[in-house]
């Protein structure tokens, strides 16, 4: 009995199109290009989707998962809020703006989406240990998913991550390993580990299970379209670390058009990076097709990938759709966090600050059309990166519990 991957039929090379059986592989044997999941979709209707669960599993017929996936022990991520951000829109001079708030996921970042799909693949391939190289959020999403599914976890992070992310990744159990190095070094180490008897039987969600993992990001596109009443926005701003999320959100929108679930229309896709780790934005502005690796130095640690695997595809998509890739300083990241919190009551992690900062910059530069409908992604919770804004946060006054004291402190 072959494994059940629902509508997925093969892996295909993004560069040369070579096809492979669905398996725990991620690179083309001919050209070393990345492998992607290929589908043979049946008929999928809006009604069918709407009748599904309020999680990413309402889109199971568009994902490499078995039909019974909603009944498997997993964290049921997704179906997060699409918040109409009228106050922020007014402040920036935009006609219509939405925040897709993925801090509402089970481990408070968008990574629960991608891990849920990789978990199904791990199950299908008989892996008993779930693993990853992580910039922070992925580690917590993996240890939580493994706990719920009854699998072992062993996750790898740069040792200098934010404390809340270290706490989250360890509280669910499993093994958390800090590596003295950058994310890119952690990732290279994991690639070596897969080739060693120590790690060859492990499911690394973003390495040997990457084709499946990556498909999870499509659900952001599906949800945005469905929550807008089955239409596409005009513009979207997406954070870029490896570039996988942006690449797959684009794929998700194109699938909806192809399946006739939304009307075809142009959508401009914008990528957002921190200036301290902006290899893709630098290449975009220079007109290059090749992304030069950098050594990250930014408070936006969840986006601190200096050698982004999908960087060239992000460049292609931004150019093809009439978008752009832009970056903002750490100071502007903090301003972005504060702006979103102050206008909409949404407390974003640094990645969200990057997106809001880039949104503002693109509006000011006249690159984004203020009259067009815009969606921005908040991919993580501000409680995970408290230090970014903790410095200036303190009570306006500390007083005795008496009216007199209050009057004195706040007179005129």
Ligand X SMILES: *Cc1c(COP(=O)(O)O)cnc(C)c1O
Packing angle of the helix pair 111-125, 137-149 (nearest 10 deg)? 50
Of residues 351, 358, 359, 362, which one binds ligand X by CB under 6 A? 351
For position 29 contacting Zn ion by CB under 5 A, the verdict is no
Window contacting Zn ion (CB under 5 A); options: 8-16, 44-52, 197-205, 289-297: 8-16
Which residue lies nearer to ligand X by CB, 61 or 215?
A: 215
Of residues 111, 123, 251, 361, which one binds ligand X by CB under 6 A? 111
Of residues 107, 273, 278, 302, which one binds ligand X by CB under 6 A? 302
Sequential DSSP letters for 314-365: HHHHHHHHT-EEEEE-HHHHHHHHHHHHHHHS--B-HHHHHHHHHHHHHHHT
For Zn ion (CB under 5 A), the number of binding residues is 8
118/145 Cα distance (integer angstroms): 10
Binding mask 227-246 for ligand X (x = CB under 6 A): ------------xxxxxxx-
Which residue lies nearer to Zn ion by CB, 37 or 377?
A: 37
Window contacting Zn ion (CB under 5 A); options: 6-14, 260-268, 338-346, 359-367: 6-14
Q: 330 contacts which partner out of ligand X, Zn ion, none, CB within 5 to 8 A by kind?
A: none
Name which of residues 117 to 156 contact ligand X (CB under 6 A). 137
Of residues 109, 133, 219, 278, which one binds ligand X by CB under 6 A? 109
Q: How many CB atoms lie within 10 A of CB 255?
A: 19
For position 38 contacting Zn ion by CB under 5 A, the verdict is no
Which residue lies nearer to ligand X by CB, 34 or 61?
A: 34
CB 102 within 8 A of CB 351: no
Q: How many CB atoms lie within 10 A of CB 260?
A: 12
Rounded to the nearest whole angstrom, what is the least distance from the CB of residue 250 to Zn ion in the complex?
A: 20
Sequential DSSP letters for 211-278: HHHHHTTHHHHHHHHHHTTS---SEEEEE-SSSHHHHHHHHHHHHHHHTTSS-----EEEEEEETTB-
The encoded tokens of residue 253 equal 């929108």
Which residue lies nearer to Zn ion by CB, 29 or 409?
A: 29
Q: 245 contacts which partner out of ligand X, Zn ion, none, CB within 5 to 8 A by kind?
A: ligand X
Q: 52 contacts which partner out of ligand X, Zn ion, none, CB within 5 to 8 A by kind?
A: none
Q: How many CB atoms lie within 10 A of CB 326?
A: 25
Tell me the β-bridge partners of 331.
none
For ligand X (CB under 6 A), the number of binding residues is 16
Q: 18 contacts which partner out of ligand X, Zn ion, none, CB within 5 to 8 A by kind?
A: Zn ion
For position 30 contacting Zn ion by CB under 5 A, the verdict is yes
CB 228 within 8 A of CB 196: no
396/380 Cα distance (integer angstroms): 28
DSSP letter, residue 381:
B
Give me the residues that bind ligand X (CB under 6 A), please. Answer: 109-111, 137, 239-245, 302, 349, 351, 379-380
């Amino acid at each position: 009995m072959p494994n059940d991957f629902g509508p997925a039929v093969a892996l295909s090379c993004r560069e040369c199109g070579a096809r492979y059986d669905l398996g725990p592989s991620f690179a083309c044997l001919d050209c070393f290009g990345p492998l992607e999941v290929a589908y043979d979709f049946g008929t999928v209707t809006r009604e069918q989707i709407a009748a599904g669960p309020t999680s990413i599993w309402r889109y199971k017929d568009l994902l490499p998962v078995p039909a019974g996936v909603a009944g498997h022990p997993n964290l049921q991520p997704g179906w997060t809020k699409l918040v109409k951000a009228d106050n922020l829109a007014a402040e920036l001079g935009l006609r219509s703006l939405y925040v897709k708030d993925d801090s509402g996921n089970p481990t408070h970042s968008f990574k629960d989406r991608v891990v849920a799909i990789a978990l199904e693949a791990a199950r299908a391939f008989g892996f008993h240990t779930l693993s990853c190289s992580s910039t922070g959020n992925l580690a917590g999403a993996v240890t939580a998913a493994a706990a719920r599914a009854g699998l072992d976890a062993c996750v790898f992070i740069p040792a200098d991550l934010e404390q809340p992310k270290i706490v989250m990744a360890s509280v669910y159990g499993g093994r958390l390993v800090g590596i003295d190095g950058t994310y890119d070094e952690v990732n290279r180490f994991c690639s070596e580990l897969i080739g060693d008897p120590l790690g060859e039987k492990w499911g690394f969600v973003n390495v040997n299970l990457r084709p499946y993992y990556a498909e999870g990001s499509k659900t952001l596109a599906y949800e945005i379209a469905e929550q807008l009443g089955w239409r596409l926005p005009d513009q979207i701003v997406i954070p870029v670390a490896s570039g996988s999320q942006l690449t797959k959100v684009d794929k998700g929108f194109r699938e909806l058009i192809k399946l006739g679930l939304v009307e075809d229309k142009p959508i401009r896709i914008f990528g957002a990076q921190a200036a301290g780790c902006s290899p893709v934005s630098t290449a975009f502005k220079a007109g290059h097709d090749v992304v030069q690796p950098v050594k990250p130095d930014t408070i936006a640690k969840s986006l601190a990938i200096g050698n982004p695997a999908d960087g060239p595809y992000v460049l292609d998509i931004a150019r093809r759709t009439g978008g752009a890739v832009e970056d903002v300083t750490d100071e502007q990241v903090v301003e972005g966090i504060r702006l979103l919190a102050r206008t909409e009551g949404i407390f974003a992690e640094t990645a969200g600050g990057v997106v809001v900062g880039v949104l503002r910059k693109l509006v000011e530069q006249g690159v984004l059309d203020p009259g067009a409908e815009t969606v921005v992604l908040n991919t993580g919770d501000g409680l995970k990166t408290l230090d970014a804004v903790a410095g200036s946060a303190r009570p306006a006054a500390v007083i005795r519990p008496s009216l007199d004291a209050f009057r004195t402190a706040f007179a005129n």
